[in-house]
């Protein structure tokens, strides 16, 4: 019985707990960043993270960019914003449209898969001063 319980813990529950270990601090850091943006300028690419939204206590509607065309439209707006995505969804086309380096990235330890880790890009930041003056 003990083998079954310990095996169940390490095979199932331990992975869930390990996965959340870096996600919560990342989401709390992200919450501080996105609070200064209008909610429609904070977007998730390809899919939104339930756990990230939960830890951020994000109440407004989520802007979802389902494909590369939606990303291009979001970027062409020329307003400051934030794009959040997991590594597994980022294609070469999307990378070419975004700033060269993400502003924030979820910690990824060497034993973890980087595919499910989040990265955040701050876009059109040079337009912040222009908008605040008008």
Please provide the average confidence, as pLDDT, over all residues in the chain.
83
Q: What are phi and psi of 98, to 5 degrees?
A: -90, 165
Nearest residue to 118 (alpha-carbon basis) of 88, 74, 78: 88
- What is the tens place of the pLDDT at every residue in 110-130? 878 899 899 999 998 875 543
Q: For residue 65, list its beta bridge partners.
A: 45
Cα dihedral across residues 91, 93, 22, 60: positive or negative: negative
pLDDT tens sequence across 53-76? 888 888 878 899 999 999 999 999
Kindly provide the b/e burial profile for residues 11-30, where b requires at least 16 CB atoms within 10 angstroms of the residue's own CB: eeeeeeeeeeebbeebbeeb
Q: Which range is least confidently modeled, 31-40, 98-107, 118-127? A: 118-127
């Amino acid at each position: 019985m003990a083998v079954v319980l310990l095996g169940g813990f390490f095979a199932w529950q331990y992975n869930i707990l390990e996965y959340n270990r870096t996600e919560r601090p990342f989401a709390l850091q992200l919450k501080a960043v996105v609070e200064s943006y209008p909610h429609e300028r904070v977007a998730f690419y390809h899919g939104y993270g339930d756990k990230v939204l939960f830890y951020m206590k994000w109440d407004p509607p989520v802007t979802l960019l389902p494909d590369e065309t939606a990303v291009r439209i979001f970027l062409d707006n020329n307003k400051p914003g934030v794009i959040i995505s997991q590594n597994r969804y980022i294609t070469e086309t999307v990378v070419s449209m975004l700033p060269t380096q993400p502003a924030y990235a979820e910690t990824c330890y060497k034993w973890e898969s980087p595919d499910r880790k989040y990265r955040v890009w701050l876009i059109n930041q040079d337009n912040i001063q222009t908008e605040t003056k008008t």
